[in-house]
Structure 1
Amino acid sequence: MGVVVPLSAAEAKDASLSPLLDLVANDMEKVNAQILSHAQSHVELIPELAQHLIDSGGKRLRPMLTIAAARMCGYDGNHHVDLATAVEFMHTATLLHDDVVDESDLRRGRRTARLIWGNQASVLVGDYLLGQAFRIMVTTGSLAALKVLADAAAVIAEGEVMQLAAAHNTSTTEDAYLKVINAKTAALFSAAAEVGAIIAGRNEAEREALESYGRNLGVAFQLVDDALDYSGKQAQLGKSVGDDFREGKITLPVVLSYRRGDTEQRKFWKRVMEEGDQRDGDLERAIALMAQHGALEATAERARHYGAIARDAMEIFPQSRYKSALVDAIRFSVARAH
């Protein structure tokens, strides 16, 4: 069950990460080698659990942003690989912590680490990977890059707490939700892109442009994820529909459906989200209400808005293959729901 979120033909046409993947392939091989190397430990559980996450797939978009941004800015050293590895470790650590906080059983169709090894192990290995990330950052010798990534780590943690405070709360506003995803998701996208300019020694304007690019791309990416969880596209991708619903997550489609609904519909959302009283047919009804109120289409429209801001942020850079690939990444991220 689900509906396909309509996006514009221009966004859907030829939307692909292939240009970015091809350009960063050699550097990403080095990143992957570093990931495997730094995930090792004499404590057997650490590499075992870390390998579980590595094997679970994922596009590794965040470290690719670091690589591509650095190359676009003319960097020809090796520290961009170190920073990209640190970014991926930070992301992996947040996934481990997220699954514990959200009590998630599945991620990308596989059992979560917390379900296999328990919550305590997941949190502690997440902490270990975060520590490794900072060890790697220090090797670059860039205090500016270290500050940006350290600030991002603090903001991400704040976002986790904000989300926890808003959990199952149907009175959450769109502004409040956007604050959460700006912290939880967009902060690392932003930092991943900005440190590429930093390691290349570029000026403040270019740093700020890449910070804006990454932040707005991150918001767009998360909003599309929110819509996908209730869409037919999710099923086509071999992923289960409604994971956010089953976990009682208040995402933008829920916020909009609740706000736009009548008294009886709001009672439904309170029952399934706040009280956790979910029954057979409730997911189908939730999707129907989202369709009735245009919540998925509105979420996709918001994503397009933030994608446009990200595109505009890139305009100060001269044309290059890397710039084109980074812009293509925006189109891909927004068009995933098509």
Structure 2
Amino acid sequence: MIEVLEKLTAKQIFQQELSKRGKLIKKYLINHYFKKLLGPKDILDGSLSYPSSMGKALRPGILLFSCGAVGGDEKIAIPAAAGVEISHTWTLVHDDIIDNDDIRRGKPSVHHQFYKLAKTRGYSDKEASEYGRNIAILVGDVQHSWTVSLFMDMYKKYKLDPALVLEIINELEVGVIPKLIEGETFDIQYEREKINKLKKEQIIDMSAKKTGQLYSSSAKIGAMIGLKNTDFKHPIILALSNFCFNCGVAFQLQDDILGLISKESKFGKPIGSDIREGKRTTIFWFAYQNANRQEKQQLIKLIGDKKAKENEIKKAINLLIRLKGIEETQRLALQYIHKAKNYLKVVPDSFYKELLVSWANFMVERKI
């Protein structure tokens, strides 16, 4: 096994290890008892839609890597990793409604899936749209409940200290969700705000709350399980939490880039949707700072036009590239990764620490 690993690059080993854990989490979710509680059929199908086509499992992966990095048993942490994945999933279901995204992971988003199904049942377009939205809201709600049941498995199956389990649930429900909702609300509100009225720090703070917080808590939870320790100020728990927070910010910055330059078939989401929705990203902010008066007018006209045609989207993307919005955002993402890696100095050297470093690199190197 060691000889095989030595022949692989660090990136290949990381991807192999992440994929292995992704399969474990998917299997755990698909076979979980909570499925029997999901009904009627549309709720069951909607609840399993994203888990059955799991993404890269980055959040559960970092939870398990963090658990291993402190010498813990990954097996005990699998229910928590599955819980983090479902928690992330219900926020995606609701986020797709807010952003009017019809595609997720290369498939119809939940609200669009049931819009299409309702049309086959004879619903009018308006009725079908309402049905798809309503089912998606309910799917997200029940997945939130599913999340808590998954965390409870750590006590039921592995007799983990109930106090630790409660602290972990509290971390997610109190430490993550209010901040995530705050970030999502800022995202919606900023769409109506003139880009020259926003500071770069406001946009980054929004991204950090939407994305960085869950990554941070995933690492924190994994380390708490591995150490069987509820002290958030434990130096290694704190270090891993800060490491993943900064990686999470970098992830969102890179995600914004990929949302413009990737291919829909690979990215799994509509390319250019941020332009139609008028999202206030650092890409837009940097480009606006670098633009002349005429270019600023072009940017304001193109970004936020919900009826923009494909040629107009391409025009906006080319303008953002030419004005170095993407280049400067990528540079910013790399700064966050550099900052993140400094927090790993207190983490003992191990195979898991190497995976964490590779995970950080993947945040900004990924092309899809």
TM-score range, shorter chain: 0.7 to 0.9
Report the CA distance between 1:299 and its aligned residue.
0.7
Please, which of 119, 140, 143 is the counterpart of residue 133 of structure 2? 119
| Per-residue deviation, residues 3-24 of structure 1 (Å, max 9, x unmatched) | xxxxxxxxxxx57364264278
Q: Is the 8 A contact 1:19 1:325 kept in 2?
A: yes
Matches within 5 A, 1:191-202: 191-201=217-227
Counterpart for residue 186 of structure 1: 212
| Cα distance between partner residues in 2 of 1:310 and 1:68 | 16
Question: Mean Cα displacement is larger for which, 255-264 or 89-98?
Answer: 255-264
Residue from 157, 162, 165 that aligns with 2:189: 165
Distance change >3 Å, CA 56–CA 265, structure 1 → 2: farther
Which stretch of the first structure deviates more once superposed, 199-208 or 294-303?
199-208
Change (3 A) 1:88 1:77: closer
1:34 lines up with 2:57 in the alignment: no
Question: Is structure 2 residue 68 aligned with structure 1 residue 45?
Answer: no
Question: Cα offset for 1:222?
Answer: 0.8
With over 3 angstroms needed to count, the CA separation of the structure-2 counterparts of 1:184 and 1:100, relative to structure 1, is: same
Deviation at 1:310, TM superposition (A): 1.5
Show the 5 A alignment for 1:75-154.
75-76=72-73, 78-117=75-114, 118-140=132-154, 141=162, 142=164, 143-150=166-173, 151-154=175-178
Aligned length: 324
Is the CA contact 1:168–1:274 (under 8 Å) kept in the aligned structure 2? no
Question: Equivalents in 1 of 2:112, 2:74: separation in Å?
Answer: 41
Aligned to 1:7: none
1:308, distance to aligned residue in structure 2 (A): 1.0
- Compare the two structures and name the one with the higher helix fraction: 2
Determine the C-alpha separation between the residues in 2 that align with 1:243 and 1:57: 22
SS in structure 1 opposite 2:47?
helix
**What residue identity is the alignment partner of 1:22?**
E
In the alignment, which residue of structure 2 is the partner of 1:6?
none
Structure 2 vs 1, CA of residues 319 and 253 (structure 1 numbering), >3 Å: closer, same or farther? same
Q: What corresponds to 1:11 in structure 2?
A: none
Aligned pairs for 1:9-28 within 5 A:
16=11, 18-19=13-14, 21-22=16-17, 25=20, 28=22
Cα deviation for residue 132 of structure 1 reads 1.2
**Counterparts in 2 of 1:335 and 1:236: CA distance versus 1, 3 Å:** farther
- Measure the CA separation in 2 of the matches of 1:310 and 1:322: 16
CA contact (8 A) 1:70 1:80 kept: yes
1:69 aligns with 2:99: no
Once the 2 structures are TM-superposed, how far is the Cα of residue 46 of structure 1 from its aligned partner? 2.2
1:270 alignment partner, one of 300, 304, 311: 300
Contact 1:39/1:129 (<8 A) preserved: no
Write the deviation string for residues 229-280 of structure 1: whole angstroms up to 9, x where unpaired.
222x446947653232233322221121123222222222222234545245
Q: Of 319, 327, 351, which aligns to 1:297?
A: 327
Measure, in 1, the Cα distance between the counterparts of 2:19 and 2:106: 27
**Is the contact made by 1:168 and 1:273 (CA closer than 8 Å) also made in structure 2?**
no
Q: Structure 2: which 5+ runs fail to align?
A: 1-8, 115-131, 155-161
AA at the equivalent of 2:89: T
Contact 1:67–1:81 at 8 Å: present in 2 too? yes
Larger Rg: 2
Instruction: State how far apart, in whole Å, the 1-side matches of 2:253 and 2:295 are.
Output: 23
Q: How has the CA–CA distance of structure 1 residues 99 and 24 changed in structure 2, closer, same or farther, with 3 Å as cutoff?
A: closer
| Farther-moved stretch of structure 1 (198-207 vs 238-247) | 238-247
* Residues 39 and 46 in structure 1, CA contact (< 8 A), matched pair in contact too: no
Question: Is contact 2:220–2:237 with CA below 8 Å preserved after alignment?
Answer: yes
Equivalent residue letter for 2:288: Y
Q: What is the alpha-carbon distance in structure 1 between the residues aligned to residue 10 and residue 307 of structure 2? A: 39
Name which of structure 1's ranges 92-101 and 117-126 shifts more when overlaid on structure 2. Answer: 117-126
The equivalent of 2:126 in structure 1 is none
| TM-score when normalising by structure 1 | 0.87
Q: Which amino acid is the alignment partner of residue 271 of structure 1?
A: K
Matches within 5 A, 1:282-321: 282-321=312-351
Structure 1 residue 39: Cα displacement: 4.1
Q: Relative contact order: is structure 1 or structure 2 higher (C-alpha 8 Å, sep ≥ 6)?
A: 1
1:10 is matched with none
Percent identity of paired positions between Structure 1 and Structure 2? 25
Counterpart Cα distance in 2 of 1:159 and 1:293: 27
**Cα–Cα, structure 1 residues 335 and 29, in superposed 2: closer, same or farther, change >3 Å?**
closer
1:83-112 alpha-carbon deviations (Å, 9 max, x no partner): 101100111001001001111112233221
